[in-house]
Amino acid sequence: EAQVTQNPRYLITVTGKKLTVTCSQNMNHEYMSWYRQDPGLGLRQIYYSMNVEVTDKGDVPEGYKVSRKEKRNFPLILESPSPNQTSLYFCASKDVAGGYNEQFFGPGTRLTVL
Amino acid sequence: GENVEQHPSTLSVQEGDSAVIKCTYSDSASNYFPWYKQELGKRPQLIIDIRSNVGEKKDQRIAVTLNKTAKHFSLHITETQPEDSAVYFCAASTWDDKIIFGKGTRLHILP
């Protein structure tokens, strides 16, 4: 089944404890992206990647890191999480970078930073 | 940078009536405008999209219009049904794949 998966789905952590949220897609998509969703603010792009070893900042990249060593994986790293990073995170992928095509979203990861 | 404004934030319509959600964008370089629907507790899913070289696109009960001169685009849902109740997001994207979403519209379909 073609899909985007994220792990973990739920995470409660404490300020300053490094964490990684994994994202994987099995559709051989070039483009992958991370978003955070907060009430009243909609979806905001954190980082995106147009291909392996190519990453770019989105609208709200501060406090996050990403890497794209393989086509299928695009992990989101929080080196020192803070309470303002408590949010619902979505990973997404699409077939071709720069193209007018549909993004497929993962199921979401709900992160709470205490 | 790009800014996308979406209105209204909440919309209630009687079942069977039409619903219209409007968005404006600021970056004239934006060339792709998707609309996503997000049901409660679910992930966003694309329902319709439009490119900057097209003025209107329809898919059954859903249509999107784009006015490039005025930098606004709208989602129209006709003959609304209970399953249309959800949050809808518009977005604007440029050639380099940066995408900015509107803040969302919560649509309630009243019985």
pLDDT digits (tens, 9 = 90+) for A51-100: 999 999 999 999 999 999 999 999 999 999 999 999 999 999 998 766 67
Euclidean distance between CA atoms A35 and A105, whole angstroms? 10
Does residue B29 surpass a pLDDT of 70? Answer: yes
Q: What is the mean pLDDT of residues A20-29?
A: 96
Q: What are the residues whose beta carbons fall under 8 Å from the beta carbon of A85, sequence distance 6 or more? A: A36, A63, A78, A111, A113
Band (pLDDT 50/70/90 cuts) for residue B25 is very high
B64 part of contact set with chain A, CB < 8 Å:
no
Euclidean distance between CA atoms A95 and A102, whole angstroms? 8
The pLDDT score that the predictor gives to residue B97 is 79
The pLDDT score that the predictor gives to residue B99 is 87
**Pairing state of beta strands B4-7 and B56-59?**
unpaired
Q: Tell me if A33 and B99 make a contact (CB, 8 A cut-off).
A: yes
Q: Tell me if B97 and A97 make a contact (CB, 8 A cut-off).
A: yes
The pLDDT score that the predictor gives to residue A97 is 67
Amino acid found at B10: T
Residue B60, Ramachandran bin (φ over 0: left; ψ between -120 and 50: alpha; else beta) = left
Site from A30, A35, A100, A102 to mutate, B interface, most B CB atoms within 10 angstroms: A100
Does residue B51 surpass a pLDDT of 80? Answer: yes
Cβ-Cβ contacts under 8 Å, A45 against chain B: 98-101
User: Between A41, A48, A97, which is nearest B103 by CB?
Assistant: A41
The pLDDT score that the predictor gives to residue A68 is 97
Q: Tell me if A44 and B96 make a contact (CB, 8 A cut-off).
A: no
